[in-house]
Structure 1
Amino acid sequence: MTSLAIAANGLRKSYGDKTVLDGIDLAVPEGTIFSLLGPNGAGKTTAVKILSTLITAGPASGEIRVAGHDLATDPQAVRAAIGVTGQFSAVDGLITGEENMLLMADLHHLSKAEGRRVCAALLERFDLTDAAKKPASTYSGGMKRRLDIAMTLVGDPRIIFLDEPTTGLDPRSRHNMWQIIRELVTNGVTVFLTTQYLEEADQLADRIAVLNDGKIAAQGTAEELKRLIPGGHVRLRFYDPSTYRSAARALREASRDDEALALQIPSDGSQRELRSILDWLDSAGIEADELTVHTPDLDDVFFALTGSTVPAQNNQTEENVR
């Protein structure tokens, strides 16, 4: 467990007769991005609050270690090793960006000289130097989010909890935030990320856990989770009706779409299976005008594991092969 930044066994939390977390296990290796997905009310924020010492775990919980420290017996050591950026910005809009940073330096008991040095370096790193003397209330949403994370880094945390860090940001600001998160990990920080944006988890996370009704429904890499969901296939489309009919007779197990002149062959989307299908088509003398690989994406995983449904055609990733 020494290589794990976060290790939780049987994490539980209830409020009265309402069970929010029902014995979940989490293992987050150091220097990685771990994403916790789940619908509203699944318990994501509660898990973050427990692991960051903001609230206590349920009495029936097993051992929980964060940054190598026991959460129950040494919460102060945990606090010294972590940083937290919540769903709602901690930025004070009545003071400048620089003053927000210096306030954090004072809270971390840095000397004035060291505080100014650290704050100036972080303001430059997050492209906020030009706006540092302006009231934070004048900042855009993306700037406030960057300042929020910069403030979190003043204490040089080894683990950062980012609770839905890009909520409300425009697409450009969201992509900028993704780059910041990647750079944090490159510098050795461990990131525990909760998000409602499935693309965000797909882009960033080394491992993903799907939380539903207080339990972990599944966890693994994005690709491992996608393979849990059936529905992958190779779609062959033909421009000439006679060629389509010949192919349909040769590929009797394929699903037909006579209107679109297309055939659909079940496939898990792996390179090995795709090569096998291509070899099979060549040996049968079949050459499609279009070949597209359809694989389930994280939307499919999320909806399948959380009991929601959406039209399948809206939740498949397509890759044109030829």
Structure 2
Amino acid sequence: MKSCQRFVFGILLLAAFGCSSAVKRSGLNLAFETEVVEAEGMSPVVNGDAEGAKKTALHDAMRNALGLVVGIYVSQDALVSKSILIDENITSQTEGYIEKYEVLKEWSDGGFYKTKIRAHVRKEDLSAKLRKLETEPQKLGNPVIGFDIKEAVDGKDQPSNYAELELKNRFAEAGFMTGEKSKADILIKGSARSDFNTREGLGGFVSYRASLSVNAVKSGSDETMTTAQETAGGIDLNDSAASRAAIINAAKKSAGDFLERVLKALREKSMVRLNLSNVASLNDLSAFMKDLRNIPAVRDCWLRNYAGGEASVDVGMRKGGAADLSQLLIKNLKRPVSVGKTSAYELDAAFK
């Protein structure tokens, strides 16, 4: 555990101060790209075993080289939260990801043997492994979920947020990021009502009945992904506790199925709002959209509005979100664009 923590700390330091790296085509297969990095490794010389220390220092250097590339493609938050998984599944298995290496320097320093290498790391293999370590929400664009659920008891609006808290916890447990509704990529909005039911035959307890109605809506495009309606009862010693229990029970009852439907909608249908600027004419825009529809990852696209050289286009993705679309646009040499602000499902770009 301590070695894993030291490894992650080392990557964060290298990310902060920079590292020598370059992208090249693989020498073994031109279809693949390698990231070329330089890294150092070290090992103590124990009982005069210089040869053993030399091998260990080389392995440490290869591990650190791989760690540098991981640090480039993984966020610092992910490095910290998944440090054990990354260490056990990737950085400890250097031979699976380093295509070739060359020793640049070897030397002894105060009882330690040190080695500096230049390594060619296979980006595709590493990227595929990192994807396997991601949660399903991360694979689907890692959208931020916000909540805006109004609550009422016996017809009177309440400042409480019991339904929000219950649903928020369930989404967080599933790997979703949650945040402020104003900054959310997907907003869960709706209402929860709890009304008095009965006191009869309950031995001094009170019964309330709650109904919950929520929609999952994508920010930017305002696309409704899925909806949920649920009812549930709650029993407690007083009106306040019983009404609260009913709302929480309705949220609990709906959470599992609602969460799965949100995931299903993200898997099957991902809509990105593309905001374009520097559009010279409607003809240019039409040609651009034609090219966009020819991209295999794009299901279709629709023009929402166009005025004053600016356009809003809804892009239906077969998979992925705005980050995936931005990479496709950058690689489109026929009609190059510069990419600006990007959220999970909204992208700002400009014609060059």
**Per the shorter chain, which TM-score range?**
under 0.3
Max Rg structure = 2
Q: Which has the higher contact order (CA 8 A, sep 6+)?
A: 1
Q: Normalization by structure 1: what TM-score?
A: 0.24
Q: Normalization by structure 2: what TM-score?
A: 0.22
> Where is the strand percentage greater, Structure 1 or Structure 2?
2
